[in-house]
Structure 1
Amino acid sequence: MSDLLNIYIQALDSANSGIIITDNTQRDNPIIYCNKAFEKITGYSHDQIIGHNCRFLQAQDRSQDERFLIKSCIEQGKDCRVEIRNYKKNGKLFWNELYISPVKNEKGEITNFIGVQNDITDRKKSEHELREEKSSIEKKILERTKELVESEAFLSSIIQTVRESLLVLDTNYIVLSANNHFLNSFKVSKEETVGKLLFELGNHQWNIETLKELLTKILPTNNPVIDYEVEHVFPHIGKKVMLLNAYRIEFEGQYKDRILIAIEDITEKKETDRRKDDFLSIASHELKTPLTTIKGLIQILQRMVPPDSSDKFENTLDKVAMYVDRLNDLISDLLDTSKIQSGNIELHKEEFDIDSAIAETIDNLSLAAPNHTITLNGKTGVAIMGDELQISQVLNNLISNAIKYSPGSDKVDVYISKVGNFVKVSVRDYGMGISAQDKSKIFERFFRVRDIQKKFPGLGIGLYISHEIIANHNGTLWVESEIGEGSTFSFTLPILNK
């Protein structure tokens, strides 16, 4: 039977169509299997797909009628065929021809759904071009736009106006144009640059292996290179840290195929960030020592409270202890942030029972927040290889945030389930929700939503630390949220294979 199963899996992985299987018995119908073609079509890796609901491929494009048709068919257990707009990991739109079919057990209950998808972007593009040709007005606009794009003067004016180093190359990586910002930044002349092979510029100082790999391996696949960091020592200007963006642009006519490279010099920014990190690390360490002493002295005072002392005296002492603990937690978070930035965060990986760890963390938080009901749903019965203390720290942070940012609600739901070879943990609150714009930055260091900054104290490092901890455990952390409808933070962790 196992040999036959392996054959089936090999057959699915060799298929040209993207294939997924979801578990309808679990909350939110998560993906538990995907084949290689699905990874290739979407740009996501297997680990980034497992545990998600299929709707994550629509990103913020959620008003499509096809989404409601899919939802209706799943609820009714019917077959479904739709053509829907999806988005790759890099944000690029692709049209998906999707077939969905339910799988039933002996009792007639739907246990799974099978989804088969094909990228029909080229077909949609052809249909669109055909419609364009039928419209004379749109055709004139296209012709005018084409003339404008093909104008060398127009292209040159754009390149010279942008306050960033820009290069235009042909398909053989010969420099066709370089703006003044590039020439001034890298101390070269136009004669030394235009008409030369990029990798031979400045006596081969641009013969950078990572840059060559980007241009020769990634760009030919029509995938853009976005915010790729390159560090290089140039003979005349010294060490530079650059942020590269490269695009392969296809035109008709004279400028048939071009490569546009934008280069941002972030050397000073990197150095400034390094100094900030050094200061953060030193300051946190220096604050930790006296604070530990203060905490110890307060504990001594609490044990030496005179029998005839007033309630106000004891309450004041307790408040001082509470605020010292808060300050201690804040400094600990700053130290964790510093360790993450320097790559010195330590993982003490051991085998542990994830169900017990989750339950224990929730029990402790329930005692600390008696006015809120924290409900645990599900169990996995599996073990994890990781740092139990750090995973508990992540869950503690997510639940604490759920309580903190839901002032009008007194409940938090925690879900744990097994999805494929991963454990999925979700924390759902019923609070204010997060906008689409803020969701893209929510895990950045020191980022805080503007409205939240005014109402709630904090530095915005808890989610950053949590994201890095989960990443160091080979898992993923993400959020699904709508303004006014609360948020659900979820993370996956690989199951220990014995």
Structure 2
Amino acid sequence: MNKIEHLVIQHVHNLNNMPILAVDICGIITYANNAACQLFHVENKVLLGQHLSRFFNFLKTAQSIQSEFVEKEPNVSMEVSLPCATGEERWGLVNSQPLADDNGQILVYFFIQDISTLRKRGNLQDITDQKVHKTLLKESMERQARLAAVVSTSDDAIISKTLTGLITSWNASAERMFGYTEAEVLGKHISLIIPADRIDEEEIIIRRISKGGRIEHFETVRIGKSGQKIYVSLSISPIVDGNGMIIGASKIARDISRQKEFEEKLQRYTNNVEILNTVGKLVSESLDVKEILQIVIDASTKIIGAELGIFIYHDQNKNDEPDFAFANSGVFSELLIKEKILESNFLSSEPNWEQVARSTDLTHDNLYKDKFLVSSWFKDQSVIKSYLGVPVVSKSGKTIGRLIYGHQEEGQFMEDQEKLVIGIATQTSTALQNAKLYEKIQFLNKKKDEFVGLASHELKTPITSLVGFLQLLSMRMQTGDINKPIVDKALKQSNRLSILIDDMLNVTKIESGQLSLSYALFDLGCMVQEIIEEVQYTTHSHHIEFHSEKPSFLISADKLHLEQVLVNLLNNAIKYSPGAHQVKVYLAEYSGYAILRVQDFGMGVPVGQQEHIFSRFYRAEGINPHISGLGLGLYISKEIIDRHGGELTVESQLGEGSIFVVKIPI
């Protein structure tokens, strides 16, 4: 044992467990114990005589040794990388302290853990696990710092609580969102921000979290410090301790109030569109002014929650005379004094007749407080405070009416109600103008019908006389008289004219409701046979075939009017099939109806026109203009059959002829 080893043994304990090196002033290793050899995976003889920098990169020269250990304070500690044959990263903790002889002169350096009084000594400790642990700890602390920064700067409220609901953390966004500071809520129960009607939600949340479950994007309502409702979306996760036990819940609350407000506005808009469509459909189905007024005021009063609704319609008729109509609705409607409204010249007393007007409280509104609207609306002492008035404007820009709503509580009508009523007023304007146009058409139709009826009556007498005279003249003329064919043609044309006049008279009777039916029991089959023979006698261009399912069809009906229908159908079949030579008539019974079918093989009726041919004065397009007729025959025939409780229909294809089907109840 040399002198250096002796000094080391004298001052260092636990030689077998602690790696120890001794170096001289030049950094040459002069001593290494077994633990040091094992640390560097070399034999003792390899270490001895080597420079310390071979094993520690931070020590390159003697000067660095001098600066690192001699000139520094005792007990210097450094973490160093240790060489490893396997390439694995290893770290050591170097502790140094100077050793000197009796004269105080430094002789060697050691890496040692304990202190000696004779020489410098030092030790190396393998701290790989400690270094890894420290690195992980540092990374963990950095992650926690980053997490804390995220929590503190997040726009979402981040709150943690125990399983009993006690608040344990509260970030800055939670303060901004709910209005409570962290000091005000820590240790308080989370129910502080939960509405009373939603307190059951907390129990459900805790129950799920306690079982390890999560809650994602749960939309609900919470309450701020000022009492305002806050719509939030909650995401909640369990908090687990080091032993894996669930000890609480972490809650992220996102304020979705603006989103909810947008959704509510969108829903209100959708509802308003549906309401407008419904009201529009209702008013479009009516062509009566008073009915339209009542429908609109009933629906709109209910929709906007008014206690009173009034619709005043004021237009000029064709003589520029006032056309006034009035409708009211609501819980106060029976209290209105309509006569006083008319007597008071309300239209001129209303200050905003042609403008939209909305008042929170009429009794304090300078425009209204002295007006008839406030002072004399009702028989009793009820007072209207909230007011909404919307003009009804025609397409020409003329104000033709006003929708007025009232409520005895102030502040009841807002912008949404105003916009909705404006939309209703626009639709109503169109409906009213259509109704007025319809009234004018009805008026003109009535005048036209009166004229047609009067003219027909006036023409009927001379035509009847003319037919009679021509018949008498024809009978007295001798056979072979050159003038007889002329008289017969005049008689034929006079009969046609008489038929046209009869059609116009029948139309007048139908329109005025004066077409009466005289029911009697008769054999329909015999009647059809007789009419076919009469028509066949007057025509030589077509042969009429008759097929009956059975010999007798007893029905109760107006025989004369049914004869008129059959004559019209047969004449049409002949007239509209000039290139054919045959007409077929079928009579059968089916499901309590007598079914009469008249078939021709002529030009047919286009599909697009079939629904119109039973209209008054309608003639199918593409028909030869030389074919006479007013377009009244099928209209009259259908009216007669309809009044019998039957049906008149057509089956036709262009160029292939037509089949007219008559169904008469037996």
TM-score by length of 2: 0.38
Does residue 377 (structure 1) correspond to residue 497 (structure 2)? The answer is no
Native 8 Å contact 1:169 1:175 kept in 2: no
- Any gaps of 5 or more consecutive residues in structure 1? 1-145, 206-235, 238-254
Q: 1:332 to 1:202 in 2, by over 3 A?
A: farther
Check conservation: 2:312, 2:325, Cα contact below 8 A.
no
How many aligned positions are there? 294
Go from structure 1 to structure 2 and tell me whether the alpha carbon gap of 1:149 and 1:444 turns closer, same or farther (over 3 Å shift): farther
Matched with 2:634 is 463
Query: What do you get for the CA RMSD once the two structures are aligned?
Result: 4.4
Task: Using the TM superposition, give the Cα deviation of residue 398 of structure 1 relative to its aligned residue in structure 2, in angstroms.
Answer: 0.7
Report the equivalent of 2:493. Answer: 323
Q: 1:303 aligns to what SS in structure 2?
A: helix
Does the aligned pair in 2 maintain the 1:357–1:392 contact within 8 Å?
A: yes
Aligned to 2:502: 332
Amino acid at match of 2:501: I
TM-superposed deviation, 1:484: 2.1
Partner of 1:421 in structure 2? 592
**2:601 maps to 1:481:** no
- Aligned partner of 2:147 in structure 1 is none
Q: Tell me the residue number matched to 1:451.
A: 622
Indicate whether 1:350 and 2:520 are aligned: yes
One-letter amino acid of the structure 2 residue matched with residue 284 of structure 1: S
SS for the counterpart of 1:292 is helix
CA gap of 1:184–1:300, structure 2 versus 1, over 3 A, is closer
Contact 2:298/2:330, CA 8 A, preserved across alignment: no
Distance 1:302 1:169 in 2: 68
Residue 151 of structure 1 deviates from its aligned partner by 9.3
Deviation per CA, 1:109-155: give whole Å up to 9, x if none: xxxxxxxxxxxxxxxxxxxxxxxxxxxxxxxxxxxxx9998396999
Q: How far apart are residue 352 of structure 1 and its match?
A: 0.3
In the TM superposition, what are the counterparts of 1:260-271 in structure 2 within 5 Å? 262=431, 264-265=435-436, 266-271=438-443
| Residue pairs, 1:388-403, within 5 angstroms | 388-403=559-574
* Matching residue's letter, 1:301: L
Q: 2:573, 2:599 within 8 Å by CA — same for their partners in 1? A: yes
SS in 1 for 2:660: strand
Tell me if the contact between 1:174 and 1:197 (Cα under 8 Å) persists in the aligned partners.
no
Distance 1:417 1:268, change over 3 A: same
Give the Cα–Cα distance (whole angstroms) in 2 for the partners of residues 153 and 474 of structure 1: 42
Distance 2:335 2:528 in 1: 57
Distance 1:466 1:304, change over 3 A: same
Residue 578 of structure 2 aligns to a residue in which SS? coil
What is the deviation of 1:316?
A: 1.2
* 1:403 to partner: Cα distance: 1.0
- Contact 1:355-1:379 within 8 A present in 2 as well: no
Answering whether residue 580 of structure 2 is matched by residue 409 of structure 1, we say yes
Equivalent residue, structure 2, for 1:136: none
Match of 1:38 in 2: none
Q: Structure 1, residues 154-186: CA drift from partner, whole Å, max 9, x if none?
A: 998998xx9x998896996646699x9978688
Distance across 1 between alignment mates of 2:463 and 2:336: 55
- 1:320 shift after superposition: 0.9
Please tell me whether the aligned partners of residues 173 and 198 of structure 1 are also in contact (alpha carbons under 8 angstroms).
no
Tell me: CA distance 1:399–1:170, structure 2 relative to 1, closer, same or farther (3 Å).
Answer: same
Q: Which amino acid aligns with 1:354?
A: L
- The 3 A distance-change label for structure 1 pair 410 and 173 is farther
* Partners of 2:613 and 2:619 within 8 A in 1: yes
Note the C-alpha offset of 1:464: 1.0
Counterparts of 1:419 and 1:303, CA distance in 2: 47
Give the aligned partner of residue 231 of structure 1: none
Judge conservation of contact 1:479–1:489 (CA < 8 Å) in 2.
yes
AA at the equivalent of 2:587: I
Aligned partners of 1:200, 1:451: CA distance in 2, in Å? Answer: 60
Instruction: Kindly indicate whether structure 1 or structure 2 has the higher relative contact order, using CA contacts under 8 Å at least 6 residues apart.
Output: 1
Shift of 1:418: 0.6
* 2:406 equivalent to 1:286: no
**Residue 314 of structure 1: which of 474, 484, 509 is its match?**
484
After TM superposition, list the pairs within 5 Å mapping 1:39-438 onto structure 2. Answer: 150=270, 174=301, 262=431, 264-265=435-436, 266-305=438-477, 309-310=481-482, 313-380=483-550, 381-438=552-609
Alpha-carbon distance, 1:373 to partner: 1.7
Contact 2:312 2:324 in 1 (8 A): no
Q: Distance in 2 between matches of 1:199 and 1:486?
A: 62
Is the contact between residue 413 and residue 429 of structure 1 (CA under 8 Å) also seen in structure 2? yes
- Give SS of 1:474's match: coil
Letter in 2 for 1:268: K
Aligned residue identity for 2:541: N
Tell me the SS of whatever aligns to 1:451: coil
Conserved? CA contact 1:414–1:426, under 8 Å: yes
Q: Separation in 1 of the partners of 2:616 and 2:480?
A: 49
Larger radius of gyration: 2
Residue deviations 1:2-36 (CA, integer Å, cap 9, x gap): xxxxxxxxxxxxxxxxxxxxxxxxxxxxxxxxxxx
- After superposition, what is the alpha-carbon deviation per residue over 1:234-287, rounded to whole angstroms, capped at 9, x for unaligned? xx99xxxxxxxxxxxxxxxxx9xx998845232222221111111111111111
Report how far residue 342 of structure 1 moved: 1.7
* Alignment-mate amino acid for residue 274 of structure 1: K
**Is the CA contact 1:170–1:176 (under 8 Å) kept in the aligned structure 2?**
no
Report how far residue 427 of structure 1 moved: 1.0
Q: After superposing the two structures, state which structure 1 stretch, 336-345 or 416-425, moved more.
A: 336-345
TM-superposed deviation, 1:303: 3.1
AA partner of residue 568 (structure 2): N
3-state SS, counterpart of residue 663 of structure 2: strand
Matched residues in 1 for 2:548 and 2:508: separation?
35
SS at match of 2:506: helix
Helix, strand or coil for the counterpart of 1:480? strand
Output the amino acid matched with 2:645. Answer: N
Q: 1:365: Cα distance to partner?
A: 1.5
